[in-house]
Amino acid sequence: MFEITDATGGYGKTRIIRSVSMSVKTGEVVALLGRNGVGKTTLLKYIMGLIDVFGGQVSLDGAPLPASTARRARAGLGYVPQGRYVFPRLTVTENIAAAAIGCGLGRKEAVERALANFPILRDKAEALAGSLSGGQQQILAIARALATRPRVLMLDEPSEGVQPSIVDEIAGILMAMKDEATLSIIIAEQNLDFCLSLAERAYVMAGGTIAREVTRDELIGDRELLHDLLGV
């Protein structure tokens, strides 16, 4: 079980998220929804230890995680930020290897596994990451995060700026992970169809807090709720 309890944080003296609590079971995919600017990205950064923390706790299987980002990655958190942020002057192979080595894992095994799991990257293995299309970079960012062998994978707007065919491929990749039932996934997204194709439960944020926890069926069946909470 992955849990965030009373998360409060922001930048400098400005608090963006306040008293946020949520949980994700092992093997579960949970969506993090809400309009732009409600704190979804900030919450993911809080979880990774990338912003100023004013209170709260992040824990995995009941054990609080260390404060540093590097130690959280080694403890089992994987993160794909909005905008992908691959290393543009490293090759695809080097991007994957760097993530694995940073978490004390073997380079060769990580690269072989990534290229087997993500066939779209095979022909680009020695290409510079900066030369890839936006969709290919997004898949590389996911492969790089998985090279750390995470127990919890967080993705921030994975479909943003990606053509529909690649979005479908990303959904297929995540569905295969979901079927393995060993990895917990949190997806922060504006693309509701993409989210609901994977997640059966969602937390909806508003004003830096969790406004509501809903099931996929509740969202699909209530257009008024969709409009009120998400503006769609």
Q: How many residues does the chain have?
A: 232
Question: Is 114:92 a contact under the CB 8 Å cutoff?
Answer: no
Would 71 be classed as within a structural domain?
yes
Would 200 be classed as within a structural domain?
yes
Would 90 be classed as within a structural domain?
no
The C-alpha atoms of residue 6 and residue 22 are separated, in whole angstroms, by 9
Would 113 be classed as within a structural domain?
no
The pLDDT tens digits of the residues spanning 79-110 come to: 999 988 899 999 999 999 999 999 999 999 99
- Judging by DSSP bridges, how do beta strands 152-156 and 77-80 pair with one another? parallel
The C-alpha atoms of residue 173 and residue 121 are separated, in whole angstroms, by 13
Q: How many CB atoms lie within 10 A of CB 126?
A: 9
The C-alpha atoms of residue 207 and residue 9 are separated, in whole angstroms, by 13
The pLDDT tens digits of the residues spanning 10-47 come to: 999 999 999 999 999 999 999 999 888 999 999 999 99
Q: What CATH number is attached to the domain comprising 50? A: 3.40.50.300
Structure tokens at 210: 């969790």
Q: What is the pTM of this model?
A: 0.92
Question: Is 137:127 a contact under the CB 8 Å cutoff?
Answer: no
* Residue 78 DSSP label: E
> How many domains, in total, are found in the chain?
1
Would 11 be classed as within a structural domain?
yes
Would 98 be classed as within a structural domain?
no
The pLDDT tens digits of the residues spanning 46-77 come to: 999 999 999 999 999 999 999 999 999 999 99
Would 120 be classed as within a structural domain?
no
**Domain carrying residue 184:** 2-82+150-230
* Residue 66 DSSP label: P
Angle at 147 between CA 30 and CA 155, to 5 degrees: 25
φ/ψ (deg, to 5) at 209:
-130, 170
Which DSSP string corresponds to 11-33? ETTEEEEEEEEEEE-TT-EEEEE
Structure tokens at 174: 């995540």
Would 162 be classed as within a structural domain?
yes
